[in-house]
A and B are shown apart, each in its own frame.
Chain A
Amino acid sequence: KQEVTQIPAALSVPEGENLVLNCSFTDSAIYNLQWFRQDPGKGLTSLLLIQSSQREQTSGRLNASLDKSSGRSTLYIAASQPGDSATYLCAVWGNNNDMRFGAGTRLTVKP
Chain B
Amino acid sequence: EAGVAQSPRYKIIEKRQSVAFWCNPISGHATLYWYQQILGQGPKLLIQFQNNGVVDDSQLPKDRFSAERLKGVDSTLKIQPAKLEDSAVYLCASSSTFGAYNEQFFGPGTRLTVL
Q: Which of A87-111 contact B (CB under 8 A)?
A: 89, 91, 93, 97-104
Are the C-beta atoms of A43 and B109 separated by less than 8 Å? yes
Residues in B neighbouring A104, C-beta threshold 8 A: 42
Q: Chain A residues near B109 (CB, 8 Å)? A: 41-43
Interface status of B51 (Cβ within 8 A of chain A): no
Q: Could you say which residues of chain B place their CB within 8 Å of the CB of A91?
A: 42-43
A1-23 to B contact mask, C-beta < 8 Å, 1/0: 00010000000000000000000
Would you call B108 and A98 a contact (CB within 8 A)?
A: no
Instruction: Tell me if A103 and B42 are in contact (CB < 8 A).
Output: yes
Contact between chains at A31 and B108 (CB < 8 Å): no
How many angstroms between the C-alpha atoms of A25 and B43 in the bound complex? 16
Residues from chain B with a CB closer than 8 A to the CB of A34 are: 103
B30-76 with Cβ < 8 A to chain A? 33, 40-45, 48, 55-56
Choice from B42, B103, B105 contacting A4 with Cβ under 8 Å: B42
- The yes or no answer to B21 lying at the interface (CB within 8 A) is no
Q: Within the complex, what minimum Cβ distance (angstroms) separates B78 from chain A?
A: 21
**Contact between chains at B108 and A42 (CB < 8 Å):** yes
The one of A42, A45, A49, A103 in contact with B40, judged by C-beta atoms closer than 8 angstroms, is: A103
Does B104 touch A at the CB level, under 8 Å?
A: yes
Beta-carbon contact of B56 and A44 below 8 Å? no
Q: Is the CB of B103 within 8 A of A46?
A: yes
Contacts of A44 in B (CB 8 A): 43, 91, 93, 106
Q: Are A46 and B56 in contact (CB under 8 A)?
A: no
- CB within 8 Å of A: which B57-115 residues: 91, 93, 100-101, 103-109, 111
Q: Is B4 at the interface (CB under 8 A from chain A)?
A: yes
- For the complex, is A63 an interface residue (Cβ under 8 Å from B)? no
Q: Is there a chain B Cβ closer than 8 Å to A32's Cβ?
A: yes
Seen from chain A, the residues whose Cβ lies within 8 Å of a Cβ on chain B are 4, 31-32, 34, 36, 41-46, 49, 51, 89, 91, 93, 97-104
What are 27 contact pairs spanning A and B, CB under 8 A?
A31-B101, A32-B100, A32-B101, A34-B103, A41-B108, A41-B109, A42-B108, A43-B91, A43-B106, A43-B109, A44-B43, A44-B106, A46-B105, A51-B101, A89-B43, A91-B43, A97-B55, A97-B56, A98-B45, A98-B56, A99-B33, A99-B45, A100-B42, A100-B45, A101-B42, A101-B44, A103-B42
